[in-house]
């Protein structure tokens, strides 16, 4: 259980949890605590638990709850509240917490008094029910609270199955027909396909069919295989492969995993949702057909129909390495700074293959996500649906708590670390050997790129004063080191991996290559650049 207790029954809840054998991890901020719990749920497959106080506690947790909602992660957020029996006389810290919870969570339940056991069990069941997500449990033992009952929230209908028309058999036949008629099929693998990794590998490895992964699905097909084709986000990097495809098959892809760009591919697109009946149409994937069939059955159809395509050998690997090469060649850095691409590449080269990496939102994410190779799922974590800053450090803390074997590296920008800086003390207190790598350029670099055409707000809108995060880390009891050269970064990483506590590596990065990275990843100019490079390399 993670959290930040306040008044009311919070300490009773923590005491009861400890009596039941649950460890309590004290965080510094409620949103960070929910991100920790969501990461625990992601890595273990069991619900995460959070305790917060009423009013400001629940309000401050909303960002973390929204992250869990959009990444479909089961979390139970336990909050005290102004008792229903006392609402007539108490206004202090009184919010409509039920309405607040419904705005971001799957369900809001009231727990306490008679029937509390069933209400608590209902909270866990709702968190786990497909699609998984966060549930807010309000602690109130008033008789007046009993009439409220469970309330469905915003996320309650997210990812619901398409209306069933031809049934599972017809849906699978539809998929089989599509595969038989395809010469250049491409797979899109989403987070919901992770539980079926073994079956997917059996169907795909050796077939030569390229497989693209969403951020959260990375590693279903290992990056060292011939079929692993890199990332799909709805951006530019995957464009050469998808533009050449004549069939695109999605397995377990959640539309929340895609950036809000137009889907402009003309290839026939079939999305398998994992639900048990029917076929319909997609919203984001323009012109796509949604096949609502169980993923294991669809994977079986894929295994039978993956042969006989017309892709050249290693087409998937060539696509991924081409995207990596384009990013790498865009790297530039002035004296006393490192290119962001080199930071990601050096850290990957000097950490074990099974290292868990957590990545914050920001410009550095556009290089860290494609350049960090993974051998299996859940070794590269980011806030996909919400894309919130302030994710990497809390997620790394949770990963080190519940997966203590492999090393844990958190990639964050100066903006994201500034939002969660106090959690360095949490890592120190828990003696967690995490490595925090800060891409420090004293700016909101991604927003600064978007600002350039108009310049709205000037430097005041996007630039910070220089900050030594290494000095701050040292003051909090962690190891802190500042680096501005490749040799220094290598040494810092190697030493950090030998420590028993956290290390903050404050890297002076040059943001000069970020505009080119953004174009290659998402910008419309990126397609022209890719065409030019493909002609240059004869691809």
Q: 331-521, superfamily in CATH? A: Thiamin diphosphate (ThDP)-binding fold, Pyr/PP domains (3.40.50.970)
**Average of per-residue pLDDT across 84-88:** 66
**Average of per-residue pLDDT across 176-203:** 95
Q: What is the pTM of this model?
A: 0.91
d(CA 409, CA 397): 10
Angle, in degrees to the nearest 10, between helices 525-537 and 315-329: 110
pLDDT (tens digit, 9 = 90+) per residue, 114-156? 888 899 999 999 999 999 999 999 988 776 455 444 567 754 4
- Tell me whether strands 185-189 and 107-111 are parallel, antiparallel or unpaired: unpaired
d(CA 206, CA 453): 47
pLDDT of residue 261: 85
Break the chain into its structural domains and give their ranges.
Answer: 2-157, 167-319, 331-521
List the alpha helices (DSSP H) in 49-96: 56-70
- CATH number, domain 167-319: 3.40.50.1220
pLDDT of residue 192: 94
Does the fold of domain 331-521 match that of domain 167-319? yes
- Is residue 279 predicted with pLDDT exceeding 80? no
CB 387 within 8 A of CB 395: no
Q: Which CATH number, 3.40.50.970, 3.30.360.10, 3.40.50.2000, 1.10.579.10, labels domain 2-157?
A: 3.40.50.970
The mean pLDDT of the chain is 88
Handedness of CA 164, 166, 169, 175 (dihedral sign): negative
**Average of per-residue pLDDT across 230-240:** 92
d(CA 285, CA 438): 35
pLDDT of residue 447: 76
- Is residue 94 predicted with pLDDT exceeding 80? no
Bigger pLDDT: 85 vs 497: 497
Strand ranges across the sheet with 268-272: 228-231, 211-213, 185-189, 247-251, 268-272, 289-291, 279-281
pLDDT band of residue 76 (cuts 50, 70, 90) is very high
């Amino acid at each position: 259980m993670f959290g930040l207790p306040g008044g009311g029954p919070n300490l009773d809840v923590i005491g009861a949890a400890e009596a039941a054998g649950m460890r309590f991890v004290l965080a510094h901020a409620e949103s960070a605590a929910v991100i920790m719990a969501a990461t625990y749920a992601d890595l273990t497959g069991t619900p995460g638990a959070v305790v917060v106080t009423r009013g400001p506690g629940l309000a401050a947790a909303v960002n973390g709850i929204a992250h869990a909602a959009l990444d479909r992660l089961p979390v139970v957020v336990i909050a005290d509240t102004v008792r229903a029996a006392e609402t007539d006389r108490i206004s202090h810290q009184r919010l409509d917490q039920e309405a607040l919870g419904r705005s971001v969570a799957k369900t809001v339940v009231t727990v306490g008094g008679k029937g509390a056991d069933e209400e608590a069990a209902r909270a866990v069941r709702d968190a786990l029910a497909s699609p998984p997500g966060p549930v807010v449990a309000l602690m109130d033992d008033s008789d007046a609270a009993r009439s409220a009952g469970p309330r469905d929230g915003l996320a309650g209908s997210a990812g619901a199955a398409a209306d069933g028309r031809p049934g599972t058999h017809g849906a699978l036949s539809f998929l089989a027909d599509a595969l038989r008629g395809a010469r250049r099929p491409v797979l899109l693998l989403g987070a919901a396909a992770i539980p079926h990794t073994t079956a997917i590998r059996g169907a795909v490895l050796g077939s030569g069919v390229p497989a693209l992964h969403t951020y959260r699905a990375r590693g279903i097909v290992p990056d060292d295989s011939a079929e692993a084709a890199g990332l799909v986000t709805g951006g530019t990097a995957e464009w050469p492969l998808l533009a050449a495809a004549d069939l695109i098959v999605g397995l377990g892809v959640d539309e929340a995993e895609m950036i809000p760009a137009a889907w402009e591919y003309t290839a026939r697109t079939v999305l398998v949702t994992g639900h048990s009946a029917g076929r319909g149409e997609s919203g984001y994937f323009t012109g796509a057909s949604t096949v609502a069939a169980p993923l294991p059955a669809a994977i079986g159809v894929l295994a039978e129909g993956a042969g006989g395509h017309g892709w050249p050998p290693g087409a998937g690997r060539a696509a991924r390495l081409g995207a990596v090469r384009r990013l790498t060649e865009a790297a530039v850095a002035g004296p006393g700074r490192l290119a962001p691409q080199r930071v990601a590449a050096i850290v990957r080269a000097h950490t074990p293959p099974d290292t868990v990496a957590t990545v914050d939102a920001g410009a550095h994410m556009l290089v860290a996500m494609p350049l960090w190779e993974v051998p299996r799922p859940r070794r590269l974590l980011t806030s996909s649906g919400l894309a919130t800053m302030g994710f990497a450090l809390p997620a790394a803390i949770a990963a080190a708590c519940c997966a203590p074997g492999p090393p844990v590296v958190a990639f964050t920008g100066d903006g994201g670390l500034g939002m969660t800086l106090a959690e360095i003390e949490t890592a120190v207190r828990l003696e967690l050997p995490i490595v925090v790598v800060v891409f420090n350029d004293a700016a909101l670099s991604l927003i600064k790129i978007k600002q350039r055409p108009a310049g709205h707000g000037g430097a005041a809108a996007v630039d910070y004063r220089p900050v030594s995060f290494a000095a701050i880390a040292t003051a909090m009891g962690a190891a802190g080191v500042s680096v501005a050269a490749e040799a220094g970064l290598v040494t810092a990483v190697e030493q950090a991996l030998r420590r028993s506590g956290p290390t903050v590596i404050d890297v002076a990065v040059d943001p000069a290559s970020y505009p080119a990275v953004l174009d290659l990843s998402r910008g419309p100019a990126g397609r022209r650049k890719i065409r030019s490079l493909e002609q240059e390399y004869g691809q």
